[in-house]
Amino acid sequence: MKVNNLITIDGISGAGKGTLAKSLALELDYSLLDSGTLYRLVGLIAKRLETSDSKEIAKELNSREIIIEFNDLKNLTEVFFGSERVSEELRSEEVAMKASDLAKNSYIRNTLIKHQRDYFDSNKGLIADGRDMGTVIFPQAKWKFFLIASIEERAKRRLRQLKEVGLEVNMPTLIDNIKARDEQDTNRDISPAVPADDALTIDTSDLSAEGLKNKVLKIIKG
**At its nearest, how many Å lie between ligand DC and the CB of residue 220?**
21
Dihedral over Cα of 16, 25, 34, 188: its sign? negative
What track of x and - describes contact with ligand DC for positions 177 through 216 (by CB under 6 A)? ----x---x-------------------------------
Which of 44, 58, 79, 96 binds ligand DC (CB under 6 A)? It is 96
**At its nearest, how many Å lie between ligand DC and the CB of residue 12?**
9
Strand 141-148 and strand 200-203: the pairing is parallel
Interface with ligand DC includes 131 (CB under 6 A)? yes
Residue 36 host element (H or E)? helix 35-49
Residues in contact with 173: Cβ distance below 8 Å, sequence separation at least 6, in sequence order: 93
Interface with ligand DC includes 158 (CB under 6 A)? no
The answer to whether residues 124 and 77 touch, using CB atoms and an 8 Å cutoff, is no
- List binders of ligand DC among 50-79 (CB under 6 A): none
What DSSP state is assigned to residue 199? P
Question: What φ, ψ does residue 81 adopt, rounded to 5°?
Answer: -110, 105
Which residue's CB is nearer to ligand DC, number 1 or number 93? 93
Which residue's CB is nearer to ligand DC, number 99 or number 159? 99
Report the alpha-carbon distance of residue 85 to residue 83 in Å, rounded.
7
Which of 8, 19, 23, 35 binds ligand DC (CB under 6 A)? It is 35
Find the largest Cα–Cα distance for the chain. 50
**At its nearest, how many Å lie between ligand DC and the CB of residue 56?**
19
User: Shortest Cβ contact with ligand DC: which residue?
Assistant: 36
Mutual angle of helices 35-49 and 54-61, in 10-degree steps: 120
What DSSP state is assigned to residue 22? H
Which residue's CB is nearer to ligand DC, number 36 or number 125? 36
Question: Among 51-59, 127-135, 166-174, 195-203, which window interacts with ligand DC (CB under 6 A)?
Answer: 127-135
Which residue's CB is nearer to ligand DC, number 60 or number 185? 185
Q: What angle is formed at CA 80 by the lines to CA 76 and CA 81, rounded to 5 degrees?
A: 145
Interface with ligand DC includes 40 (CB under 6 A)? yes
Instruction: Note the helical H segments in 118-190.
Output: 151-164, 171-187
Binding site for ligand DC (CB under 6 A): 13, 35-36, 39-40, 96, 99-100, 103, 130-132, 181, 185
